[in-house]
């Protein structure tokens, strides 16, 4: 007999923790991925197909989006980096199940702001004003 059914977690239930920053919430997290370069190598006396060797590991920039509030913490982090005071932080992305429990976590290590985008404004729009922070980092792991 088959085991207990396990439905996948929903992508709209999550929270984000950033070392030392109290941000109420984020509406979107994207771009956290990892890849390994493929290095091709072939000596002249080998078969026509080159060997494929692992190269450097690379990580995509992580983008956080949130609705504008009176909190300036994320913006101030970017401003400190612009002034040459780069503070690297750990970012933890946590998936939450329907009961509100933490069910999966990813940690992004040594992250720092690389790009900030202020919201655009439109007098006829009814959407929430969104800020965006793109962060470079040096690695990510799934911890749960």
Q: pLDDT, tens digit, for every residue of 53-91?
A: 999 999 999 999 999 988 899 999 999 999 999 999 999
Q: pLDDT, tens digit, for every residue of 131-143?
A: 999 999 999 999 9
The two tokens of residue 138 are: 């040096």
Reported as half-sphere exposure (CB side, CA atoms, 13 A), residue 87 has a value of 14
Q: Please report, for the chain, the start and end positions of each structural domain, with discontinuous segments joined by +.
A: 14-31+61-142
Residue with tokens 């790009």: 115
**Residue 84 falls in which region: left (phi positive, over 0), alpha (psi -120 to 50) or beta:** left
Greatest Cα-to-Cα distance within the chain, rounded to the nearest angstrom: 69
Reported pTM: 0.83
Contact 114, 134 (CB under 8 A): yes
Alpha-carbon distances of 94 from 47, 61, 115, 137, 138, rounded to whole Å:
48, 18, 23, 18, 19
Measured CA to CA, the distance from residue 90 to residue 112 in angstroms comes to: 9
Superfamily of domain 14-31+61-142: Hcp1-like (2.30.110.20)
């Amino acid at each position: 007999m088959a085991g207990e059914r396990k439905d996948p977690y929903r992508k709209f239930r999550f929270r984000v923790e950033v070392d030392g920053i109290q941000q109420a919430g984020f509406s979107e997290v994207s771009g956290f991925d990892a890849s390994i370069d493929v290095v091709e190598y072939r000596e002249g006396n080998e078969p026509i197909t080159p060997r494929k060797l692992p190269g450097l590991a690379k990580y995509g920039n992580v983008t956080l989006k949130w609705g504008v509030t009176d909190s300036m913490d994320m913006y101030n982090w970017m401003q400190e980096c612009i002034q040459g005071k780069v503070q690297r932080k750990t970012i933890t992305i946590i998936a939450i199940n329907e009961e509100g429990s933490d069910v999966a976590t990813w940690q992004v290590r040594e992250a720092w702001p690389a790009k900030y985008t202020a919201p655009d404004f439109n007098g006829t729009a009814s959407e929430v004003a969104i800020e965006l922070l793109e962060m470079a980092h040096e690695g990510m792991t799934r911890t749960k």
